[in-house]
Structures are given as C-alpha cells and as structure tokens.
Structure 1
Amino acid sequence: MENFDVVVVGGGMIGAASAQGFAQQGLSVLMLESYQPKAFDTSQAIDLRVSAISQASVNLLKQLDAWSAISAMRLCPYQQLQVWEDPQNKLIFDCAQLDLPELGFMVENRIIQLGLWQANEQAGVTRRIVHNSQLQTNTAEGVSLKIDDTEVFAKLMVVADGANSSMRQQLGLGISAWDYRHDCFAINIKLDAPQQTATWQQFYPSGPRALLPLAEQHAALIWYDSKDTIRGLKQLTSNQLKHRIEAEFPALPGDFDILNSASFPLTRRHVNQYVKHRAVVIGDAAHTINPLAGQGVNLGYRDVKCLLEQVEHCGLEELDKALRRFEVRRKPDNLSMQTSMDVFYLMFSNSLSPLQQLRKLAIKGMQHSGPIKNWTLKYALGDIG
C-alpha cells in the first residue's frame, strides 16, 4: 500500500489547485485524473468551456505559482460588466470603481488546468491518469482507495471530480438538486470589431443573452432559452444561426463569423454535507450554480483557499477541527450565492408587468447606489466573505 498525506480525486481547475496548495505546505500529494488535457498550441481554436476568473481567484493562482504559465498561453482581461433589460437603463460595474486595472479575465478552462499542472510538476505532486478509483475505507484515521491495481492510503481525501462526482456517490453523500427550465447555448465567434473589454448581459422573458470577450478579437455568445428552442438552434447551419443571432440577439459591435458552438444543461446541486470522516468535497462536486454571474469556478477557488488555510492552521494532527471549520465557513457562503443567483434568475425570467417595473427600479437604484454597488462588486470579485 502506498501512503500519502493527501489524495485529490479530480485534476481539473479546482482539484489541481488544491493539490498544488497542499504540496506547497510540504505535504505528500497524490492527484488522480481520468484524462490527459490536450497540450496548448497558439494555432488551436478557443475552447467553448471558458470561465470568468475574478481578482481573488487570480490572486490565489498567483500564490499557487500557476498564473504566469496561464497568462503565457491565452486569456482576455475585461474591465466592465453591463447588465440590462431595457437598453436605456443599464447597470454598469467598472474596474475604475475599485481602482483596479480589470475586473477579471476570461480564460479557457483547459488553459487554467494546464497552468496548474505545470505548477504541480514543479511542486512535486504525484499525478496519475486512472480509469477506476474505488473507495475502500473512510475512517477517523484516513481514507484507503483501490486505484486500478494499486492500493493507496491518505490522511485526507479531497473530492473535486466535478458535478457528476463518482467519489461523492461512493461516499454516500446526498445532494439537493434540480434542473433549470433553460439550457445554455455557447457560440464562439470572431469579430471584425476591435478587441472587446466589456462583458454584457441582456435579459429577455425567454432567458438572458450575453457576450463574453475572448482573446484575439473573439467572443463567446451565451444564449439561455428553453430546451426546445436550444435544440432547434443546434440544428441550424452556420448561416441560419447567424441570421437568428442578428435578428434576436442584442446588437453586436460589428460583423462576425461563427466558429463553433455547443449546448449545456443548467442544473443546481448542493451536497448535504461537505465532510465525512477524512473526506471533504469541494468545487462542482459540492455545489453547482446558475452561471448567470460566472461565479461557479470562483466559488470553487474560495473553497480551495479556505481549505488550505484551515489545514495549514490546524495541521494534520487536528484535521477534524480543520474540516469542521471549512464546512462552517464555506457552506453558508455557497448557499447564499446559489440563492442569490436563483432569485435573480426567477426575477428576470418572466414577463409579468409588476416584476418588469420592479426590475426597472432595481437596476436604476443599484446603478446609483454608490457604496452598495461597490460592496456588490467587491463580493462578486471575492474581496468580501
């Protein structure tokens, strides 16, 4: 049997970050992942899976010695976030509010993972591509796993294998979950306009439509709509889809070419307990959120930061205390953000006249709210909580 201080199940953006942090603390770390991400090349098309990385997440990735590798590949800073239902009544968050050079960065998920894997190699993380990880025991002393043909024991297991976590199921941790009535259709385009520096979102009764600026004059159009409508959009040719975008999407800054597209279901999940003996669940394995405000991965990085801090403070000798503190701090924050996004989603996804008036007043009030607007922006960027 092989022995480690920490075994991390899942080597994506969240798992690889936690593995890196524990390795920096001088712990022996084994990270398990089911597939090898494709190496980056500048000639590659921009991936459809991108994340809006907040300043707090950037700061964490810098502490983990991963940001330099990420920024050397490909990313896009953005300075503004605009939200509206009526184009004459916009809520605008700007980096100048907080004297920041940008609000954050749009980065492909794979590039974040690759940057962290480079850091993992330098920090001495043991990484394995595995096909089958079976939980054997999980007690107050630690966790044992059967990994393909190898047995592993660790004092702590971090479960970060995504929304459909197999290890969470093996632990017997229940979840509360429901599907939203919308799907998300992501369309990558190349603009003939100058590089965009603002991400924006307009709300319709059928669902919001958004633009995310990407590197090299690219952008991602995000179209939320009923499952039937999204299914129909996926059947269109590129020319037909372009005509639909021109007719039904908010005005774009210029002409564009469609490069690729894909749809994703929208589901909310929250695990009932984050900790079981010496196993702790983080990131999408613990919680998924409506992606309206792009907070999913940033909540995962708040999990990582908190877990690293608690384990470093308490040490492996008091792991139970560290894990209790982690759950007490992270569960309410994640639940609060999930609930806020759900209220926002429900409030804007209808055409009821009283709510239309309420939305108009809310946007106008927030735009001129001064300190409240600044507090909201700081919270979204991870500077509060």
Structure 2
Amino acid sequence: MMQTQVCIVGAGCIGLTLALGLAKAGIEVVVLDSASGDIEVGNEFGLRVSALSLASQALFEKLDVWQGIITTRAQSYQKMDVRDQDSFGKISFTAADFDTEYLGHIVENDVIRQSLIVQLNEQASATLIFNTHYTEIHQSENDVFLTLESGQPIITKLLVACDGANSNIRQLFKMPITFWDYDHHAIVATIKTQLPHDNVARQVFLPDGPLAFLPLAEKNTHSIVWSTSPEKAKKLQALSDKEFNKILMAHFDGQCGLCEVVSERAAFPLTMRYSKKWLDNRVVLMGDAAHTIHPLAGLGMNLGLKDAALMIDLLSEGSQNEAISSRVEKPQFAPHKVLREYERTRKSDAQLHIAMMQGLKELFEGQNPVKKLIRGIGLNIVDNLGPLKHIFGKSALGK
C-alpha cells in the first residue's frame, strides 16, 4: 500500500508543475499517468507549443526549471503585432513599452515537461508512476483511495485531477460543466519563412478566425495556429504542401514572405469548457480538466499554471503551519476552507478570461460592416492611448 499527501492524475505540464512545487515544499506527492514518461526533444520542433507569460516564467524560475527550459529550446519575443485583415485596425506591444527585456517565450510543451521531470526525479518527496492506469477511485471524508491496474492501492489526502479536457475524474465524480463549441478547428504546423521572425509574435484576424505566427528558436521558423471553421480546416488539410504554402502566405498578407510547411499539419476541434464545480470533498480539478479556452490569445497554459501556482502556495503555507503548530492534535492537511479558496479564486479568474475570449472571437468574426468599423476604431484607440494600451499589455504579460 502506498500512502501520500497528494496524488496527481495527469503528467502534463500543469500536473508536473504542481508536483514539483509541492515536492520542493516537502509535501509527499505521487504523479500517475497512463502514458510514457520518456520524452525526447529532437531536432524537429514539436507541434504543441505555448506562449509563456512573464508570470509563468517567474513560476518556473522559482521552481528551478527555467534554466533547463531555455537551455533546451525556447524563443523569446520582444514584440506582439495584432492586425485585423478586414479593417484598418492594428495594435502592437514591445517589451520596451513595459521596461522588460521581452514579452514572453514560445516553448514546446515537450520541452517544459522534460525539464519538469528532470527536476522531479531529484525530489525525495515525489514519486512518478508512468504507463499505469487506475481502475477504481473512492473517497471517504478524509482520504481518497485509488486502485491501480496492478492491484496496488494508493491512499491520499488530496486527489488533483490534471487529466485533460475530457477528464475521466471529473466525469466519475459527476462534476457538471458548461461548454460550447467554438465552431473552430485549430490547425497547427511548423513553418519556415522567407523573412526572419525578428522575435515578433504575430496574429491576424481573418473573417473566419485568427491565424498566429509564433517565433521559434530558429530565425526563419514559426509555429502556426490557424483557427478556422471546421469546413475550411478540412479543405486546408486536404491541400498539398505547395497549395497550403500559397494560401497561408496570402492569408497572412505576406508579412513573412514565402512560407514552407516543414512538418505534418495537425487539426483539432476547439471547445470552451468550464466546470461548474472544481471541488468534491478531497478531489479537485485543475488545468484543462477545469477549463479550456480559445487559443486566440495564448492563455490556456498560463491559466493552468496560475491554478498550479495558487495551489502550491496554499498547500505549502498550510504545511508550514503544521510544522510549527504546538497543538496536540495535528491540523488537517489541505483543510476544506483552503480548497474552497483555491476553487473560488481560480474559478473567478477563469470566468473572466473565458468571457474576454468569447467577446474577442465574436467581435473579430465575420464581415459585418458595423463590427469591422468598431474593431478597427477600437484597436487603433488602444494602440494610441498609452494607459489603455498598458492595461492590455499587462494582461498579455500575465500580470
């Protein structure tokens, strides 16, 4: 029988970040995942990348993984350029506007996971279990009981579900969700361009969805995220590389010159999910298990990391209070009021960002003349008014 204070199901970036933060605070943690933990970062760029904000970077620096991330492969960007193809609107931010060296970094998800696993393997309080499924989960008032497919039982004081957008744990404990289909599919690929990216993250709003060019750690290489209607995504996926390259350059107004796709093209549907309940006694949701959001502002990973950061702070503080307590009766680990604070705080932030992304999507979608005028004027007002632009920029920085 294995006993631990926290069991995390899901070894993605969010689950591993939470595990490392807790382990460094001396909290016993077990990470369970059905996939392999062997990650190889090769010469080719991975298709799944994240735009890490300065707030996310600060968290990784605190956990001593940032150096491993940037040493492996990461690309900073000093400028963000956002345009509406169908109007005169545009807005841009530079690092100098905020007295910072850069606005963020584009990092492959596998690079993040690899760096986290390296650090976790050095933590005495952390146990990583890969290639293993659980078969049962039950909870009592004070504990959660998991049974692995091998028959081994795990008893934990807190179970954290980091098992993705289609979370089995969320479904098992019947935590209801609100969701809607964005009616978009995202196409992701790695692109080489005629012109260098110059450390600029670019995005153009097309009538049927945004197209982002994110700079990678080679001067002429980008990761693209093209959100468009399912019908158009299907047509784009059916094109030859040569045809796709031409259409891609045309839709991006030739900002980076000729384009050449140098990877496979993957596509996946985009759905907003928001769990109405993040907490069931000793079971909590985190990351995509609790919320998913449109990628048009690159906020998904950063929102999940904010979930992890708050839980690390709350449980670490509680653990320290236990250590110095002089009470005869030991305080409960992760008391309900602490878990409720996590749920209340993070639900509120997720709600705000989901509403913002829905508003942006609806404003920039379609060719309605009134909406075109509003977004054109609106973007230019923000771009030319320092205080308002500063507010938008700070949001992009994760502050």
Q: TM-score range by the shorter chain?
A: over 0.9
Note if contact 2:91-2:380 (Cα within 8 Å) is conserved in structure 1: yes
Q: Hey, what's the Cα distance between the residues in 2 that align with 1:375 and 1:228?
A: 36
- Contact kept, 8 Å, 1:40 with 1:73, in 2: the verdict is no
Query: Residue 139 of structure 1 aligns with which residue?
Result: 140
Tell me, yes or no, if structure 1 residue 208 matches structure 2 residue 186.
Answer: no
Task: Answer yes or no: is 1:314 the counterpart of 2:318.
Answer: yes
> Residue type of the partner of 1:190?
K
User: Structure 1 residue 2: deviation in Å?
Assistant: 1.2
Q: How far apart are 1:136 and its partner, in Å? A: 3.0
Which residue of the partner structure matches residue 80 of structure 1?
79
Distance 1:313 1:95 in 2: 34
What's 1:378 paired with?
A: 394
* RMSD between aligned residues: 1.6
Tell me how far 1:38 sits from its aligned partner. 4.7
Query: 1:366 corresponds to which residue?
Result: 382
Q: Give me the whole-angstrom Cα distance separating, in 2, the residues matched to 1:180 and 1:41.
A: 32
Deviation at 1:42, TM superposition (A): 4.6
Task: Please list the CA deviations of residues 129-154 of structure 1 after superposition, one character each: whole Å capped at 9, or x if unmatched.
Answer: 14421343223312110111211000
SS where residue 8 of structure 1 aligns? Answer: strand
Give the corresponding residue for 1:120: 120
CA contact 2:69–2:112 (8 Å) conserved in 1: yes
Aligned to 1:305: 309
Given the two structures, how large is their TM-score scaled by the length of structure 2? Answer: 0.92
Measured in 1, the distance between the counterparts of 2:305 and 2:102 equals 19
Counterpart-to-counterpart distance in 2, 1:163 and 1:222: 19
| 1:285 and 2:295 correspond | no
Report matched runs for 1:34-45 at 5 Å. Answer: 34-43=34-43, 45=44
Letter in 2 for 1:271: S
Deviation at 1:88, TM superposition (A): 5.0
Within a 5 Å distance, the mapping from 1:43-122 to structure 2 comes to 43=43, 45-86=44-85, 88-122=88-122
Q: 2-side partners of 1:232 and 1:209: how far apart?
A: 16
Three-state SS of the structure 1 residue aligned to 2:304 is helix
Q: Secondary structure at the match of 1:323?
A: helix
Matches of 1:60 and 1:309, distance apart in 2: 11
The runs of 4+ residues in structure 1 deviating greater than 4 Å are none
SS of corresponding position for 1:203: strand
Query: Identity, % of aligned pairs?
Result: 32
> What one-letter code is carried by the residue in structure 2 that aligns with 1:285?
A
The structural deviation recorded for 1:258 is 1.2
Are 1:29 and 2:41 counterparts? no
- 2: CA distance, partners of 1:93 / 1:21: 32
CA positional deviation for 1:115? 0.6
- SS of 1:302's partner is helix
Mapped contact 2:36–2:131 kept (Cα < 8 A): no
Match of 2:276 in 1: 272
Asked if 2 retains the 8 angstrom alpha-carbon contact of 1:35 and 1:129, the reply is: yes
Secondary structure at the counterpart of residue 262 of structure 2: strand
Q: What TM-score, normalized to structure 1? A: 0.95
1:236 aligns to what?
239
For structure 1, which segment, 139-148 or 268-277, has the greater mean C-alpha deviation from structure 2 after superposition?
Answer: 139-148
Report the Cα distance in structure 2 between the residues aligned to 1:344 and 1:146, rounded to whole angstroms: 44
What is the aligned residue count?
382
1-side partners of 2:383 and 2:131: how far apart? 50
Alpha-carbon deviation of 1:237?
1.2
Partner deviation per Cα, 1:12-67 (whole Å, 9 max, x = no partner): 10000001111011011110112125533452x10110000000001101111211
Equivalent residues of 1:130, 1:147 under 8 A apart: no
Counterpart residue identity of residue 338, structure 2: A
Q: Which moved more, 1:245-254 or 1:94-103?
A: 245-254
* Rounded Cα–Cα distance in structure 2 between residues aligned with 1:152 and 1:224: 41
CA distance in 2, matches of 1:213, 1:228: 27
Q: In structure 2, how many angstroms separate the alpha carbons of the residues matched to 1:194 and 1:182?
A: 29
Question: Equivalents in 1 of 2:306, 2:250: separation in Å?
Answer: 40
CA–CA separation in structure 2 for the residues paired with 1:41 and 1:14: 19
> Secondary structure of the equivalent of 2:228?
strand
Tell me what 2:323 maps to.
Answer: none
For the pair 1:347 / 2:363, whether they are aligned, the reply is: yes
Asked if the contact 1:311–1:319 (Cα under 8 Å) also holds between the matched residues in 2, the reply is no
Contact 2:89 2:378 in 1 (8 A): no
CA distance in 1, matches of 2:24, 2:132: 27
Q: Per-residue CA shift, 1:319-371, capped at 9, x if unaligned?
A: 21210111111101011001100000011111111111111111011112212
Structure 2 alignment gaps of length 5 or more: 320-331
Q: 1:153 aligns with which of 152, 155, 167?
A: 155
> CA offset at residue 372 of structure 1?
2.2
Is the 8 Å Cα contact of residues 135 and 170 (structure 1) preserved in structure 2? no
1:135/1:172 CA distance change after superposition, 3 Å? farther
The aligned counterpart of 2:325 is none
Summarize the Cα distance change of 1:178–1:139 in structure 2 as closer, same or farther, 3 Å threshold.
same
